[in-house]
Structure 1
Amino acid sequence: MNSGTFVEQLLAPHRASASPWLTWYGASGERIELSGRVFDNWVAKSANLLAEIFDLEQGQVVVIDLPTHWKSLVLALAALHHGATLLPADHPDASEAVLWMTQNPADPAIPGTAEILAVNPAALALSFGAELGPVAEDFNASVRSFADQFYPSSVDGSVVAVAGLSLQELFAAKAQAKGTILVRASVPLADFLSYAVAQWAAGDALVLLEDGVQDTERLRQGERITSDYNPEP
């Protein structure tokens, strides 16, 4: 397959599902459970935002300077809907980015040629905050106004998606189903994304624990954890 709607093919089979797809435990005590339907809804809204505000196109470089989090995973898949190339902020080619997604929009490392999407990862944040200047778009304040459905165009599977993997390679990776997988969110997003896509494709659910959240037996039993994150095939 040289071209396709890769994110669509991953998400569409779970679009009507009420079963957990991704559950987030934050250090401040919040638990956010996203079903397949709700996760798809967030990806669609975010993909529409990227299209309508930033005119994101296939092959453009996007820096995701965000920790592994349910919002950063949503934004990563939204950008891949458009065939973008995702890079971490410390990548040598980050200066080529047309868009910089970050929780630090005042970072002097952001090139002046890049547009900025400011993201507050706090669960209930309805805006980035009062300190956001006029040069950045507020993801938290804007995303809910966009359509719940996204109608993707076919993108070239040979385009680099993340960590040197093409779109076709990223979404063709196979994994053994493991049930519900516990993941420490300290793993870098660029390293984790391919694992997450493969396990989701296998039918697994992910539970992300932010640093500071205790991995207790009660949590494991409550979430029905069957495996722990292991990047090895």
Structure 2
Amino acid sequence: MHIADLQRLITRDPGRPRLTWYGDDGERVELSGAVLHNWVNKTVNLLVEEFDAAPGTRVLLDLPPHWRAVVWALATWRTGATLVLPPTTEGSAVVGQEQDRGVADVDVVVTSHPTSWTGTSAQLVAVPLPALARRFDGDLPPGTIDAGSAVMTYGDQIGWVEEIDPTAIAVEPALRHEDLVTWALACTPRPTASEPRTLVGEDHPLVVLRRTLQALSLDGSVIVTSVASTTAFADEPERLDRLRATERITD
């Protein structure tokens, strides 16, 4: 199964929730299969048309655990490109040390704090995080694309996209596209329910992506909570119980 197959799977029942987000301050965003599919398609079209994204393109995802991070990762994989996660440091610290920190030759940086990447040789995409924001609220370095407004201008159906090379790297350093779903399904704990509704409250974006991909590959859905929300739920077990009941969480 590749990402294109996964998109076909989640749209077989297009109205069913597939990705639900609980952000800071209690904001909630729910994406059905059809809506998630459209977001991914629009983002694929932006990546291809603006940056010629294809196998060999390296896209650095500098976003916290968030529903938009899931969309950008799925779109990157759908183009056949390579997803790169930054080292655990601010973008500004990376810019002057790209070679040493393993992020040299990145083609595109997708980030929620674009000014930290001023001076990088990569092309910048600024992603707003609040709820359903349609523009980035802040300063943008010259040439930066505001994903909040730009993504919505692209079509709901994928235009031309290069065929995915299954042996190409999907996630640096060595995870190949043909192994993405196998990698996700091997994540523990593995959901026990059919069509699972999985609660994902992690502070590392790659773990969020892996567990999300796992649930979607099992024809399920995920409820992703921000780092702050995860902490709040942990401190208030009754709220967590209500969340589990309201969202019908199985795993």
TM-score range, shorter chain: 0.7 to 0.9
**In the TM superposition, what is the alpha-carbon distance from 1:111 to its structure 2 partner?**
5.7
Structure 1 residue aligned with 2:121: 113
Q: Relative to 1, partners in 2 of residues 1:191 and 1:29: Cα closer, same or farther, differing over 3 Å?
A: closer
* Structure 2 unaligned regions, length at least 5: 89-100, 234-238
Q: Could you say what secondary structure the match of 1:63 adopts?
A: strand
Work out which of the residue numbers 57, 60, 63 in structure 2 matches 1:63: 60
| Aligned residues of 1:158 and 1:166 also touching (Cα < 8 A) | yes
**In the TM superposition, what is the alpha-carbon distance from 1:104 to its structure 2 partner?**
1.1
Partner deviation per Cα, 1:93-148 (whole Å, 9 max, x = no partner): 3122000010111114x663200001111113211124223231100011111000
TM-score, with normalisation over the residues of structure 2? 0.81
196-205 or 36-45, larger mean C-alpha shift: 196-205
| Aligned residues of 1:83 and 1:161 also touching (Cα < 8 A) | yes
1:12-161 matches, within 5 Å, as 12-15=8-11, 16-90=13-87, 92-108=101-117, 112-151=120-159, 152-161=161-170
Amino acid across the alignment from 2:152: R
* Structure 1 unaligned regions, length at least 5: 228-233
**In the TM superposition, what is the alpha-carbon distance from 1:171 to its structure 2 partner?**
2.4
Q: Could you say what secondary structure the match of 1:169 adopts?
A: helix
TM-score, with normalisation over the residues of structure 1? 0.87
Structure 1 residue aligned with 2:223: 207
Structure 1 residue ranges, 4+ long, deviating more than 4 angstroms after superposition: none
Structure 1 residue aligned with 2:98: none
User: Higher strand share goes to which structure?
Assistant: 1
User: Higher helix share goes to which structure?
Assistant: 2
Q: Could you say what secondary structure the match of 1:53 adopts?
A: helix
**CA RMSD after TM alignment:** 1.9
Q: Could you say what secondary structure the match of 1:62 adopts?
A: strand
Structure 1 residue aligned with 2:94: none
**In the TM superposition, what is the alpha-carbon distance from 1:211 to its structure 2 partner?**
2.4
Distance 2:4 2:49 in 1: 19
Amino acid across the alignment from 1:122: P
Distance 2:215 2:206 in 1: 15
Amino acid across the alignment from 2:116: D
